[in-house]
Structure 1
Amino acid sequence: MTYSELYHQVAGVAAALKNAGVTKGDRVVGFVPNMPESIIGMLAATSIGAIWSSCSPDFGIKGILDRFGQTQPKVLFTADGYFFKGKPIDSLVRAGEILQKIPSIEKLVVVPYVSEQPDLTTLPAAILFEDFIEKKAQEIEFVQLPFDHPLYIMYSSGTTGLPKCMVQSAGGVLVHHLKELILHTDLKREDTIFYFTTCGWMMWNWLTSSLAVGATLVLYDGNPFHPGPETLWQMARDEKITVFGTSAGYIAALKNTGVRPGKDFDLAAMKALLSTGSPLSEEDFEFIYAEVKSDLQLASISGGSDLNGCFALGNPMGPVYSGELQCRGLAMKVFAYDESGNPVIGRQGELVCTAPFPSMPIYFWDDEDGSKYHSAYFDEYPGIWTHGDFIEVTERGGVIMYGRSDATLNPGGVRIGTAEIYRILERMEGIEDSVVVGQEWQNDIRVILFVKMRPEYALNDELKNEIRKNIRTNASPRHVPAKIIEAPDIPYTLNMKKVELAVKKMIHGREVKNKDALKNPEALDFFTDIEELKS
């Protein structure tokens, strides 16, 4: 799709939204795959001053209602379904439930995706995208609004209750994204950028801002290993992708498939590879440079939906060190604070940002006195944004991520980041995945490790001893788990982040309120009433 075609599609949808009674401040939402119509809907809505938010179609109905139900949208965009591993999955049944449960929705705009003529007879408010769009519209009439006019509503993961609805401003998000795309990623008009993401993850919003640079965007929806593990690399070759974005989880999984992208495919065009979602291990750094490309910028990046961007990320002019994010974001006053609130170098601490930044939320939805906003970020160190990550700022200015600080282990009162243990386990043959949590035990905390084994391997005493030895040698004796237990699966959020807190709640017999926020909620069942943890 050319920029001219995109412009005319956006003009038509913007005019149609106006005709449907949408005005500035109204909410327009997408329950959508990562497809052109998702971006068109967002651009059209925001051009007239409406506020956009989106969820991917693999969300369960409760997860959708927990998000859209709080903000009472007027128009809902959806596709008739989506594909997973080649199999079509219906979305219209859930769209019908959304219409029933959220009466503020006056119009449902449906994009045919899994069928040419979806049946809309049971959906009274529904109209096909092609019939909705105002074809005579030629120009986008951009409504003139203040810098801090609301643009997006982003959601927290919602694993501990209703998701937070974080409202971000048009000017703030655009300035922040352009800084990260142009200066930190060296994105230019002639570049082709891809990020493996869904419309429920902030990386979709981030990718979409590449339009402001004039670059070419590649959208992909579905399983990155279907029909085979080489799929995304064939696409990178065919589309001559210059900036390739993915998650640390994808890279870790790719490593075990035997695919060698740099040897199997011509990746001459690629200049940068970006990774986020969780810390990228040193071994994964080495894998990228050995098996993907030796002369690209590998930028491990970290931030969050709260800021719709990064606190630490890449630097196209600087060196890359294994296991480190290259630098803190430009104009982001980021430090690692110790327990006394002092910045430390070369030691682990709490990630804080001591000055405002453009993309911080302007407010939370339904938080009139600002108390939810304040308690989310400013309770730990008064007046200072505390993000909830455990980091180390290195002597050379890089950043090492150690995982969520609310999931930090505290055996004997010593704080340990879970990422340190995961990095060691990722090097071990036979272990497919793992989750580590702290169990309250005899007035202290003991480290409990759950491992998911590869099909052809078993967790025996020999392997347990090897795990303990590796952790003791490469981390410290305090990191060594008191118990190592095999689990059939490891629970993740829909954005592919391990839910250590939910596992911790389950082993203590506490309720996990919002399992719909998980990609595989059934995985949590295993962690209830484990006999081995009673002694």
Structure 2
Amino acid sequence: MVSELWAPPAGATEPVVSAFARAAGLPGASYDALWRWSVEDTTGFWGAVADFCAIAWDTPPDAVTDGAPMPGTRWFPGGRLNYAAQVFRTPRTGLAVVGHDETGAAGSLTWAELEAQVTALAATLARLGVGKGDRVVGYLPDRPEAIVAFLAAVSLGAVWAGCGTDLSADAAGARLGQLSPTCLIAASGHHHRGRWIDRTADAAALRKSLPELRATVLVGDGHVTDETTLGWAQAIAGTERTQPLPVAADHPLWVLFTSGTTGPSKGVVHGHAGVVVEHCKNLGLHQDVRPGDQYFCYTTLNWMMWNLRVGALLRGATVHCYDGAPTPRALWQVAEQGQLTHLVVSPGYLGATRAAGLHPAADFALGALRVVTCTGSVLTAELHSWAAEQLGPEVLVGSSTGGTDVVSAFAGSVPTVPIRAGEIAVRCLGVNLQAWSPAAEPLVDEVGELVVVASLPTMPLGFWNDPDGSRYRAAYFEDFPGVWRHGDWITVSDRGSVVVHGRSDATLNRNGIRMGSADICQAAEDLPEVAEALVVGIEEPGGGYWMPMFVTLAGGRDLDNDLAATVQAAVRDRVSPRHVPDEVIQAPGIPHTRTGKKLEVPVKNILIGRTGAVQRDAVDEPELLSFYQRVGEDRRRTRGGSR
């Protein structure tokens, strides 16, 4: 039996999930009974969630779903609402958004100030020609202005997409340019490890790469302006106001970008109603977020956790932002300064905290903290136990797994179920999550593919520029027709808990920020010395993450330290400093399928010792696999063990 790290305290305030069960006519139901009802009576459950969360319908829906199977299910058909209207449906007092950065500054917005800035910016955007269905994109750090920009855009019925300023102009343009945006909201830079990173040149380059722009709003100093450009202060200073425009339940809310494992990032489209209902469920019933709580997740605009974190406004909580690097002390200082009730971090951050010799509860004033959620990668039992011991029995330290694809969690914690080391406590309500064998057989206490066998409100409306849905179906429904295959290896226990064993595809997942290999390899391959590159990310025992890049070189050159540093600098400058390879290794060749596709997943399997997972007859040069096998063996030997 896995040891319990936390149990629901006796006499605690009634959790939100228990209040929901009572409102749904199931008072006192166990979590297992509640989950089974939620996946067996889809209409009853999701209708009850919408009622419990007081969805601000302009026009109520005709039904919960139209009854069509995945992937064509339509949620809340006939309904009309707006995400921004849901945020401001109830007058609230106090702070809505708090910004922190590395200088110690903390800009904040009250609920009244947030609404005033959102409505003023929306009126400005409308005057500049932004309307329903247009795309408004952001190139911004994690600051309050990004939240204002998002809410203003979607209040007009425009479609939002954002990238962080940690991405280069090329990397941001490869994503945002797919949308042919009407308006760009861009910042002059961000803070990182004690330095101001000037992005004015990148913002200008990004602007030039978006030919259909009609207007630009610039945040910060140093920008060059012209007749189509407004500064932020000017854009929010007008006295004109707009009210959120009711749109259809499945009207596009935002486009999130997948990591782009083997090609350009795919734009994933989600709708207003599905996101509002799912985020109210996840944040309320699972994370126990209440009005007045203080909620923070370290994230950038590149990651779906930014979008989920904004959803805490739907629950009436204060959302905290952070512009800076997640150094071991930084996020705990945010927790202390903001008197956070909820903190979301990655396993990598907990590991860095431990390695720095910090003791969070002893070194920082965290008396308000109730829930710490770990997400983004696998949380090992050892690190989970350490974190729970450090934070004490009053703090629920849980973990979750989900994805950009559904902009929420498949499995997580809930304040009525004990937490055990190295496990995700429960499958989320409404999520019929299973582990399947290759023969589509449900597995219990065995490793299988993570699948979801019934539709969810935040499953994508589709991919951007995929009019017939073929790319969307191929991404999730090809292996098991009619069933969502997510790309994770998991075990579902007989208690309903979940253990994630890592990605079953080639997505890179460092420090919780997912990135595909295409951008990273391209940065290396653009160097004249590099003929071809392949990069993989590997979860290691103890919570580590190893991301080597293999290169073949042009002109018979051998790799030296200077060239390795040049490759790493190219990735840092052109893509992201968060995804610089740990090592650059010269390889005799890069293996491909016989149709020319790089074998990222098979190479990853070989490096971690799963040699049987590779079909050698499908490889163009199977003799190359022995090289990668030796590299993996050497790595495991030096690490002192194997998977």
Q: 1:377 maps to what in 2?
A: 476
Amino acid at match of 2:464: W
Q: How does 1:14-413 map to 2 (within 5 A)?
A: 14-112=122-220, 115=221, 118-121=222-225, 125-138=228-241, 140-225=242-327, 229-406=328-505
* SS of equivalent residue, structure 2 residue 224: coil
CA distance in 1, matches of 2:546, 2:494: 31
Q: 1:45 to 1:180 in 2, by over 3 A?
A: same
AA aligned to 1:65 is: G
Q: 1:276: Cα distance to partner?
A: 0.8
* CA spacing shift, 1:305–1:533, aligned 2, 3 Å: closer
CA distance in 1, matches of 2:143, 2:340: 18
Report the residue type matching 1:127 in the other structure. L
Distance 1:146 1:247, change over 3 A: same
The separation in 1 between residues aligned to 2:437 and 2:585, in whole angstroms, is 27
Aligned partner of 1:167: which letter?
V
Question: Whole-Å Cα distance in 1 between the matches of residues 402 and 581 of structure 2?
Answer: 17
Distance 2:580 2:475 in 1: 20
Deviations 1:342-361 (A, max 9, x none): 11110000011111100011
1:365-420 per-position Cα deviation (integer Å, ceiling 9, x unaligned): 11111100110100000011111111000111100001111259xxxxxxxxxxxx
Matched, 1:4 2:112: yes
Q: Is the alpha carbon distance of 1:259 and 1:282 closer, same or farther for their aligned partners in structure 2, counting shifts above 3 Å? A: same
Q: Compared with structure 1, are the counterparts of its residues 395 and 53 closer, same or farther at alpha carbon in structure 2 (3 Å cutoff)?
A: same
Q: Which runs of 5+ in 1 are unaligned?
A: 409-420, 427-431, 439-486, 514-528
Say whether the 8 Å CA contact 1:279–1:403 is kept in structure 2: yes
Which deviations, in whole Å up to 9, do the C-alpha atoms of 1:40-71 show, x marking residues without a partner? 01001101100001000011222112111111
SS at match of 2:420: coil
1:508 equivalent in alignment to 2:620: no
| CA offset digits 1:228-276 (Å, max 9, x no partner) | x322212212221000111111112221010111111221110000111
Question: Which residue identity lines up with residue 46 of structure 1 in the other structure?
Answer: V
Give the distance between the partners of 1:391 and 1:196, measured in 2 at CA: 25
Partner amino acid, structure 2, of 1:298: V
How many Å separate the matches in 2 of 1:407 and 1:150? 28
Q: CA deviation at 1:195?
A: 0.5
1:81, distance to aligned residue in structure 2 (A): 1.2
Change in CA separation of 1:164 and 1:75 when aligned onto 2, cut-off 3 Å: same
Structure 2 partner of 1:415: none
SS in 1 for 2:367: coil
| Counterpart-to-counterpart distance in 2, 1:47 and 1:496 | 33
Q: TM-score w.r.t. structure 2 length? A: 0.65
1:272-310 Cα distance to aligned partner (Å, 9 max, x none):
001111011111111111223332111211110010001
Contact conserved, 2:249 with 2:271, CA < 8 A, in 1?
Answer: yes
* Offset of residue 160 of structure 1: 1.4
Structure 1 residue 533 displacement after superposition: 4.5
Superposed displacement of residue 22, structure 1: 0.7
Measure, in 1, the Cα distance between the counterparts of 2:227 and 2:581: 39
CA spacing shift, 1:401–1:505, aligned 2, 3 Å: farther
Could you tell me how far apart the structure 1 residues matched to 2:346 and 2:393 are? 19
SS at match of 1:374: helix
Q: Is 1:434 aligned with 2:546? A: yes
User: Is the contact between residue 377 and residue 387 of structure 1 (CA under 8 Å) also seen in structure 2?
Assistant: yes
Contact 1:277/1:495, CA 8 A, preserved across alignment: no
Residues 398-445 of structure 1: CA deviation (Å, up to 9, x unaligned): 00001111259xxxxxxxxxxxx845354xxxxx7535999xxxxxxx
Q: 1:407 to 1:47 in 2, by over 3 A?
A: closer
Paired letter, 1:367: D
Q: CA deviation at 1:180?
A: 0.4
Query: Structure 1's 7 and 36: CA in aligned 2 closer, same or farther, altered over 3 A?
Result: same
Residues 93 and 314 from structure 1, CA distance in 2 versus in 1: closer, same or farther, beyond 3 angstroms? same
Q: CA, structure 1 residues 512+267, in 2 after alignment: closer, same or farther (shift >3 Å)?
A: farther
Amino acid at match of 1:32: L
Q: Which has the higher contact order (CA 8 A, sep 6+)?
A: 2
Distance 1:370 1:170 in 2: 20
Cα distance in 1 for residues equivalent to 2:587 and 2:139: 30
The answer for the alignment partner of 1:478 in structure 2 is none
2:413 and 2:359 map into 1 onto residues whose CA distance is: 24
CA RMSD across the alignment = 3.1
- Between Structure 1 and Structure 2, how many residues are aligned? 446
Distance between the aligned counterparts of 1:326 and 1:494, measured in 2?
33
Q: Residue 132 of structure 1: CA displacement? A: 2.0
Alignment partners' CA distance in 1, 2:503 and 2:580: 10
Distance of 1:77 and 1:158 partners within structure 2: 24
Distance 1:148 1:232, change over 3 A: same
Does the 8 Å CA contact 2:568/2:580 hold for their aligned counterparts? no
Identity across aligned pairs (percent)? 35
Match of 2:444, SS?
coil
Closer/same/farther in 2, CA of residues 9 and 372 from structure 1, 3 Å limit: same
| Runs of 4+ off more than 6 Å | 495-500, 502-507
SS of residue matched to 1:204:
helix
Q: How far apart are the structure 2 equivalents of 1:300 and 1:334?
A: 16
Indicate if the aligned counterparts of 1:333 and 1:354 stay in contact, CA closer than 8 A.
yes
Counterpart of 1:287 in structure 2: which amino acid? W
3-state SS in 1 of match to 2:125 = helix
In structure 1, how many angstroms separate the alpha carbons of the residues matched to 2:117 and 2:149? 9
Distance 1:73 1:512, change over 3 A: farther
Distance 2:422 2:291 in 1: 30
Aligned to 1:520: none
